[in-house]
Amino acid sequence: MNLRFVETFLWIVRLGSFSAAAEKLNTTQASISNRIATLERELGVQLFDRDMRTVKLTPVGQQAVSKAEEIVRAVGEFRETIADPTSLKGSVSIGTIDSIVHSFLPRLVERVQERYPGIAIDLNVDTSLNMAREIIERKIDLALIMGPALDHGLVNINLGTYGCVWVASPKYGLACKKLTLADLVSYPLLAFSKGSVPHHGLLQQFREAGLEVPAISNSNSLATIMRLAKDGLGVAPLPRVILGEYIDAGALEILDVTPAFRPLTFHAVYADHPDSLLPSIIAQMAAEVSLCMADD
């Protein structure tokens, strides 16, 4: 029995269609259909009921899912345990966000390259909302985001909590003052993208302080926010861990603001299925790497 055909069967079950499985496995729908037809001939059973619109498991197909998962998981564990890590080939698609790119991602990529030099990382950087959607739809193998992402079959690993600080250019002369949110509304404010967890948190803090929410310029790029703040174009709340070079160079100053901006919690998210061993290993690596950089 061809293991690839068993894996194809499981991807159709997870994604709900032959076309989605074909896209995931980078092949044609005809190839997917041929694999399943061959598998059904070998087993002497029909695994799927097919019509023009839907693909559903037959009763025998439903029974086959757990057995197929056991087979694929056992082979994956055997490969991970016995094989030389340098001999493993393939790719892992990772979706992440700016906060992680500017903190521990370089160390994580370095560690993956050292252990698995034959594994390529396909990296996509976007908002946590978009990356959560991608992992829920199984379009990526691993998401490193402000989480968690809640959906059946997803595993969330806590990557730690990063403390945030308000920062501004020295030209504002605010570093030596004790400030409140009311003091900040007279300055241009820069913050995370609309709809994000920290954006909602900032709006809530202004409301809790009894203040009308001021105009806030938003960006999903922390590099952009840091550059604009450095150039004196606004005051911004940012994770302390990403600000080292700017603070050390005196380009940005940490402000004493009450209440403090709420910390951000990050998660590694992957799908719990038999061929997710490498994403789960990288998720654990991410937890180890981030631990030394996280502020509780």
Q: Which domains does the chain carry?
A: 3-82 (1.10.10.10), 86-159+265-292 (3.40.190.10), 164-262 (3.40.190.10)
Q: Is 23 exposed, middle or buried (0-12, 13-18, 19+ CB in 10 A)?
A: middle
Token pair for 146: 């402000």
Angle (CA) 217 219 224, round 5°: 105
Residue with tokens 């894996």: 7
| Predicted local confidence at residue 24, as pLDDT | 80
CA 9 to chain centroid, in Å, comes to 26
pLDDT recorded at residue 281: 86
In this prediction, the residues of the chain whose per-residue pLDDT falls under 70 are 51-53, 76-77, 79-87, 273-276, 292-296
Tens digits of per-residue pLDDT, 137-188? 889 999 999 978 888 888 899 998 889 999 999 999 999 899 999 999 999 9
Does this model's pTM top 0.85?
no
Q: Measured in Å, how far apart are the chain's first and last C-alpha atoms?
A: 50
Look at residue 276 in the predicted model and tell me its pLDDT. Answer: 62
Per DSSP bridges, beta strands 90-96 and 119-125 are parallel
